[in-house]
Amino acid sequence: MDALPSFYDDLDGFRAEGWRCLAEGVENRRSPFHTPTLATVDAVGRPRLRTVVLRAAETEAGALRFHCDRRSDKAREIAQSGLAALHVYDGRAKLQLRSEGRARLHGDDAVADAAWAGALAMSRVCYGIKPAPGTALAAGDAYALPGEDPEARLGRENFCAVVLTVERMDLLYLDRRGHRRAVFFREGEGWRGSWVAP
Ligand SMILES: Cc1cc2nc3c(=O)[nH]c(=O)nc-3n(C[C@H](O)[C@H](O)[C@H](O)COP(=O)(O)O)c2cc1C
């Protein structure tokens, strides 16, 4: 039988493992943590889900960042509610992570400028799409993208970075010998955590 992971009965270690996986997911395109599912609610409280690319995980600040088009539904929903959640399940690690908190759009500030500066040309180009994301088309190809000129600011006006400041993180590790689940709440600059029934 496999050895139990070091965080199995270590609450602080479990939280650290969650953040380690998120940080690794930013760098490693093959990690399930690279492409979490983002949840928002619409104006009438309907849940909405979609995949995003995780761009930053700041362990100390308890913050996660992804990018989106300001014209998109998700941007509108985050602007309205100020709330979002991210979910990942890593089947190989048998680890589910859910993080919930306050989400803020950054369109014209230093956070957005730095994120845009760090974005690849092939990513930037998506923000120049016309018409806006979600617009009905007469045919599947009835949209246009600007050229991939790395100097172009095309699309910058539509780009925004979203920072999710995590207030609650729920980790679930699956094991035949007994699952382990813990919930962590942000308190000041630290975390208050406890084991919970899986
Ligand atoms: C692997 C993958 C990665 C994606 N990454 C992003 C992303 O980082 N940002 C984004 O806005 N949409 C991303 N998308 C597209 C969204 O999942 C979604 O289809 C689109 O943004 C429209 O969402 P909305 O109408 O809820 O705003 C990605 C989709 C896939 C399949």
Q: Whose CA is nearest to atom 20 of ligand 1?
A: 50
- pLDDT single digits (tens) 5-35: 999 999 999 999 999 999 999 999 999 999 9
Detail the DSSP E strand segments found in the chain.
37-41, 47-51, 56-58, 63-69, 83-90, 95-106, 159-173, 180-187, 190-196
Q: Please check the confidence at residue 172 and state whether its pLDDT lies above 80.
A: yes
What does pLDDT average to over the chain? 95
pLDDT score recorded for residue 147: 74
Q: What does the DSSP 8-state code read for residue 138?
A: S
pLDDT score recorded for residue 154: 76
Q: Please check the confidence at residue 149 and state whether its pLDDT lies above 60.
A: no
Among 29, 35, 48, 53, which is best to mutate for testing ligand 1, by the most ligand atoms less than 8 A from CB?
53
User: Domains of the chain, with CATH numbers?
Assistant: 11-196 (2.30.110.10)
149-156 mean pLDDT: 69
Which residue in the block uniquely carries the two structure tokens 């991939």? Answer: 148
Ligand 1 proximal residues by C-beta, below 6 Å: 35, 48, 50-53, 66-69, 72-74, 133-134
Among 52, 120, 126, which is best to mutate for testing ligand 1, by the most ligand atoms less than 8 A from CB?
52
pLDDT score recorded for residue 122: 87
Atom of ligand 1 nearest to the CA of 69: 11
- pLDDT single digits (tens) 45-89: 999 999 999 999 999 999 999 999 999 999 999 999 999 999 999
